[in-house]
């Protein structure tokens, strides 16, 4: 599989990565009562989209692995620093960074597993859903 095919396969997971990352921010907002403005959600979403732009442009001049590492580190760093300003303190920004790192690592593994990608992806998504369900179980959804 060449660099462009890997980049294309990675971009197919874009909605999932963006959605799950914004879900992490929403859960943090609900759990901590820290208000995150819609503009801040948009900025985070745009930073996540930049990952794919960086990945494709860097992989034209380097290996896919190096491009993936640079793009993911840049976006993780940007979002972590930005979330530090939004979320005050270090606990939640570190959670965001760990979530993004896990997600980007998971996507990279799926891209490398051509024959088992669907199986590993399905199991991974099941685990992610279980974590989100577990993390959101004590949120009072009636208290607005």
User: For residue range 6-16, what is the model confidence (pLDDT) as tens digits?
Assistant: 888 888 888 88
CA distances from 15 to 35, 52, 134 (A): 24, 11, 22
Question: Between helices 14-32 and 91-112, what is the axis angle to 10°?
Answer: 160
Residues spanned by the domain of 97: 3-135
Q: Binning pLDDT at 50, 70 and 90, where does residue 122 land? A: confident
- CA 139 to CA 144: how far, in whole Å? 11
Domain presence at residue 113: yes
| pTM of the model as a whole | 0.85
Domain presence at residue 63: yes
Domain presence at residue 57: yes
User: In the prediction, which pLDDT does 1 show?
Assistant: 64
- List the one residue out of 104, 106, 77 whose CA is nearest residue 93: 77
Domain presence at residue 68: yes
Task: Work out how many domains the chain is built from and give that number.
Answer: 1
User: For residue range 75-84, what is the model confidence (pLDDT) as tens digits?
Assistant: 999 999 999 9
């Amino acid at each position: 599989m060449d660099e462009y095919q890997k980049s294309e396969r990675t971009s197919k997971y874009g909605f999932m990565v963006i959605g799950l990352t914004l879900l992490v921010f929403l859960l943090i907002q609900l759990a901590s009562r820290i208000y995150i403005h819609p503009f801040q959600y948009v900025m985070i979403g745009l930073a996540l989209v930049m990952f794919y732009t960086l990945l494709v442009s860097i992989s034209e001049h380097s290996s896919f692995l190096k491009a993936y590492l640079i793009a993911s580190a840049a976006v993780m760093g940007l979002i972590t620093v930005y979330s530090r300003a939004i979320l005050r303190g270090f606990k939640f920004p570190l959670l965001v960074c760990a979530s993004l790192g896990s997600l980007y690592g998971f996507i990279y593994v799926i891209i490398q597993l051509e024959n088992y990608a669907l199986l590993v992806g399905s199991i991974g998504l099941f685990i992610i859903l279980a974590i989100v369900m577990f993390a959101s179980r004590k949120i009072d959804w009636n208290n607005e």
